[in-house]
Structures are given as C-alpha cells and as structure tokens.
Amino acid sequence: MIQITKPFLPPLEEYKKYIDDIWKRQWLTNMGPLASDLEMKLKEHLNVNHLLFVANGTVALQMAIKALNLKGEIITTPFSFVATTSSIVWENCSPKFVDIDPKSLNLDPTKIEEAITESTSAILATHVYGNPCDVGSIDRIAKKHKLKVIYDGAHAFGVTVAGKSIFEYGDVSICSLHATKLYHSIEGGLIVTRDANLLKKLAYVRNFGISGYETFAELGINGKNSELHAAMGLVNFKYINDIHQKRKYLTEIYDQNLRTAKAVKVGWHQEASLNYAYYPIVFDSEDLLLKIKSALEKHEIFTRRYFYPSLASSLPYLTSELLPVTEDVSKRVLCLPLYFDLTKEDIDLICRLILRYQNN
C-alpha cells in the first residue's frame, strides 16, 4: 500500500534522549527549555525577526486575527484548508471570498480591490502548497486601502521570495508543524511578525493574556505547546536538509515521468524557492481525475483531492457562492503521494498507472 503521506520519524533513540530529560525535569509545558530552544533555532533557521512556537496552525491564525483587532470582513481565498476560513468565523469576522488565479491557485490580486468595502479590515491569503502569493501586489493593495495582511503559510516552511523568508511578508504569517508537514513537531505551529510590539502582544495572547503572577495584559487563549512536541521538533530539526533533498529528488522523478500526462503543474512564483511540500497536478477534466484516482486505489495507492470542494460553496455555516475558477480547479486538482520514505520504484509505479489509465 502507498499512502498519500506519512510523517517523518527520526530514530527512536534520539527522541527518547529528550524524553528522558523531560522526565528528570518534570517540566512538561508553559514554554519549557525545549520549547524555548526550538523557538530560537527555528527563528535562526528561517532568518526571521520574531517567531513564536504555538499549539498548531489554526490557533496561530486565531491569535493573529485577535492580536490585530480585526473586525468586519476579511478578504480570503476559497481554495485552502478549512481552518483558513473557520478561524475567521471563529473570531467573529466575516470571510469575503475572492477567486483564485488559475495558474498559481493563489488568491488573485487583480480581483481583490473590487471586493473591498467599508467593512473590510484585512486580507488573509494562503500560500497554497507552499507556493507564495503575489506578495508585492497584495502589499500594495493593503497599503492603499489601509488593510492588515495575514498569510496562511501552513505549507510554506523554508520557502523564500527573492532570498527573503516568505514569513517576513505581511503583518503576520503563520506556519503549521503538523505531523503531515515536511517538517513537524507532531502538533505545532509558528507565528511570525516583524513588529516587536505585536510579538509581545501575541506572546501574552498565547498564555491566557497573563502578564505577571497576578496580572493580565490581554484577552488570551491557551496557545502554548508542550515539551514533548518540542522534543520531536528538535530531533527533526537535524534532518531538515535531508528531508528537503529527498523530497526534491522524488519531485524530480515525478516531473520526469509525467511529462506526457494529461495534467499540468501549479505555476510557481518565479522568484521563490521550492520546499517540495506537496505534489499537486491539475488534470484536464474531473472525469479524468476520478478515473485515475479510482484506478490507483484499486492498486492500493491513495491520493487526495486537496483542496476539494471549494470553501465558498461547501461550508454549512456560510452562504454558498460559486467562484468559477475555484469551482473548476478544485474539481481537477489531485495531490499524489509524497513523503520521505517513498521510493523511486513507488513513484515509477504511480506514474506508469497514471499514463496507462489516462489513455484507456
């Protein structure tokens, strides 16, 4: 069986060394030494000004919305994981969907301004599959209309644009360190900002708003992460380059084998690096996608329609609306298996089956 993804797991004995030390200290949470160490290591590795290690990417989004005091409408993408939208609703704001660019699959900046109203307070855009949005255009629009910008970079660990971390764009960027991500801490997330005052506020928000032994500075939440998760993050930190190189190698095999597939790849930002987080392809039709997906499953090879369906037309707590590009693309995009333990032989088999069944 070939799964759509598997978490990277380091040698157990390396993780156990950290666990043994945790047992000796009996410090399990509340930003212990491992969580603090991981926070500093990731800040240096990603080359960002300010970074917080938090419970998960969803909480990171909610904290960002809260710390920026956002109200009213937030312009966002219908082509993302549901947490991008649900975080907006959870914080009592209204998502205003704007259609995506058919090549990058990111929020289309040419359609943003027509969606801005007097109630608009921010733009929340997703770097889909780690592919950076048109951050330059979004920044210009935000400054013109005095809007805040949050980037959902759940998939974008390690990505740079023009040599600068993708997390350095916008007012706040977040990242997911969930077990399925290319670098993970089992459960976890990051919040990045260039604003030192905002970082201080976010740090209070992460810890219930507590500012002292008997004082409170902000309305807060429990956004902290544990020493057990930080331990996994620290062990995996040593393997970041190995993971990146292996996924690059596997991606290049896919690229070579699928040159004649009836599908196209996502149009990557021209100034951006690649982190090889996913391998999505957009088939010529939904019928072809369903045919290929079914054929692969018969051989116990599992794929994922990521992201399907469109958030704009599928969430029961929002009024449904049809955005033509998103509706079309979401029906035709399929993510193929990609993870550290996948082999060249696995990919060769997947590609042979795709090419065989696309012509049957």
DSSP assignments along 79-117, one per residue = SS-HHHHHHHHHTT-EEEE-PBPTTT-SB-GGGTGGG--
Is the CB of residue 174 less than 8 Å from the CB of residue 190? yes
d(C-alpha 189, C-alpha 167), whole Å? 13
Structure tokens at 291: 């045919």
Exposed, middle or buried by CB within 10 Å (0-12, 13-18, 19+), for 345?
A: exposed
Contact predicate 106/127, CB 8 Å = yes
Q: One fold for both 12-237 and 240-358?
A: no
Of residues 359 and 185, more confidently modeled: 185
Q: Are 95 and 66 within 8 A, CB to CB?
A: no
Instruction: Give the pLDDT mean for 347-351.
Output: 98
pLDDT tens readout for residues 173-194:
999 999 999 999 999 999 999 9
How would residue 359 be classed by pLDDT, with cut points 50, 70 and 90?
A: confident
Verify cis geometry, omega within 30 degrees of 0, for the bond prior to 307. yes
Give the other-Cβ count within 10 Å of 59's Cβ. Answer: 24
Model confidence pTM above 0.75: yes
- Which CATH number does 240-358 carry? 3.90.1150.10
The pLDDT tens digits of the residues spanning 308-342 come to 999 999 999 999 999 999 999 999 999 999 999 99
Q: Quick one: pLDDT at residue 125? A: 98
**Stretch 254-269: mean pLDDT:** 97
Condensed to tens digits (0 to 9), the pLDDT of residues 35-61 reads 999 999 999 999 999 999 999 999 999
C-alpha 142 chain-centroid distance: 22
How is residue 284 annotated by DSSP?
S
Statement: residue 360 has pLDDT above 90: no
The β-bridge relationship of strands 189-193 and 50-54 is antiparallel
DSSP-derived secondary structure for 110-170: GGTGGG--TTEEEEEEE-GGG----HHHHHHHHHHHT-EEEEE-TT-TT-EETTEEGGGSS
Domain positions in the chain are: 12-237, 240-358
Q: Tokens representing 154? A: 């759940």
Report the distance separating Cα 341 and Cα 255, nearest Å: 18
Is 90 exceeded by the pLDDT of residue 172? Answer: yes
Among candidate residues 11, 61, 6, 49, the one with its CA nearest the CA of residue 239? 11
Q: Which two tokens stand for residue 96?
A: 């205003």
- Identify the pLDDT of residue 250: 98
Task: Specify the residue for token string 């916008």.
Answer: 170
Q: State the pLDDT at residue 148.
A: 98
Q: What is the mean pLDDT of residues 117-137?
A: 98
Pull the structure tokens for residue 216.
Answer: 């409170």
Q: For the chain, give the mean pLDDT.
A: 97
Architecture of the domain delimited by 12-237: 3-Layer(aba) Sandwich (3.40)
52: which strand partners? 191
pLDDT for 21 equals 97
pLDDT digits (tens, 9 = 90+) for 54-95: 999 999 999 999 999 999 999 999 999 999 999 999 999 999
Average pLDDT over residues 273-283: 98
Q: Shortest CA distance to 220 belongs to which of 233, 204, 231?
A: 204
Other Cβ atoms closer than 10 A to 335 = 18
Alpha helices, H only, the chain: 12-25, 33-46, 57-67, 82-90, 135-145, 196-206, 227-237, 240-257, 286-298, 311-314, 324-332, 344-358
Angle CA(155)–CA(345)–CA(233) in degrees, nearest 5?
A: 35
Q: Quick check: helix, strand or coil at residue 339?
A: coil
